[in-house]
Amino acid sequence: KVVITSREFNPDIVTKYRIKEDWIFDRNLGKMVVRIIGIAPIKDIIDENTGLFRASQAVFWLYYPEIRPMLAQYEVFNPENDVARMTWNDFFEGRFFSSKIIKTSNPFDMSYNNRGMSPLEALYEGQKASEMLFNKEHDMWVY
């Protein structure tokens, strides 16, 4: 059963974005290809009693292929280079963002944090997954 709740959205609560991607080996190109599947604005949940950070939560998900035409219409402000104009679509497709891996495919569909790992262990697991992807693509080349 799907329940739809409508509320007023306050963009000021967004602290970061979560991007869901598929990493696919393209045999014709001989390289890994990254496809963005979805983007979710993330808000931080703060403990009301202590005022400390408790968790991050996705506010909603947007299906990236459907919002690409809209993202291609708006420019990103780049404080480092105001001459080269770039749209949000260029920004995401060119991977001009920093990221960390928080989840990989697994039988239980669980992120690293939900597998009983500390935040530091989850970060190390994400770095390990990133290195595995890099090494896999690097090993495909024959010199």
* 1 and 68 co-located in one domain: yes
Q: Are residues 87 and 19 located together in one domain of the fold? A: yes
Q: For position 68, what pLDDT does the model report?
A: 94
Residue range of the domain that includes 139: 100-143
Q: Is 119 exposed, middle or buried (0-12, 13-18, 19+ CB in 10 A)?
A: exposed
What are 99's strand-pairing partners?
A: none
The tally of domains found in the chain comes to: 2
Q: Answer whether 0.85 is exceeded by the pTM.
A: no
Q: Domain check: are 65 and 110 in the same one? A: no
Helices (H), the chain: 64-71, 88-93, 119-139
Q: Where are the beta strands (DSSP E) in 27-109?
A: 31-46, 53-58, 62-63, 75-76, 86-87
Q: Are residues 74 and 111 in the same domain?
A: no
45, two tokens: 């949940």
Whether residues 12 and 64 fall in one domain? yes
Please indicate, yes or no, whether residues 94 and 130 belong to a single structural domain of this protein: no
CB atoms inside a 10 Å sphere around CB 129: 17
Maximum separation of any 2 CA atoms in the chain, in Å: 60
Same domain, 84 and 112: no
Q: Are residues 105 and 94 in the same domain?
A: no
Give the model confidence (pLDDT) of 121-141 as tens digits.
766 776 787 777 777 766 666
Residues 3 and 73 reside in one and the same domain: yes
CA distance 61 to 67: 11
Does the structure show a pLDDT above 90 at 118?
no
| pLDDT band of 70, cuts 50, 70, 90 | very high
Amino acid identity for residue 58 in this structure: A
Position 80, amino acid: E
- In a shared domain, residues 106 and 90: no
Per-residue pLDDT tens for 34-61?
899 999 999 998 888 898 888 888 999 9
Same-domain check for residues 42 and 92: yes
Same domain, 21 and 84: yes
| Opening angle at CA 62, ends 58 and 66, nearest 5 | 170
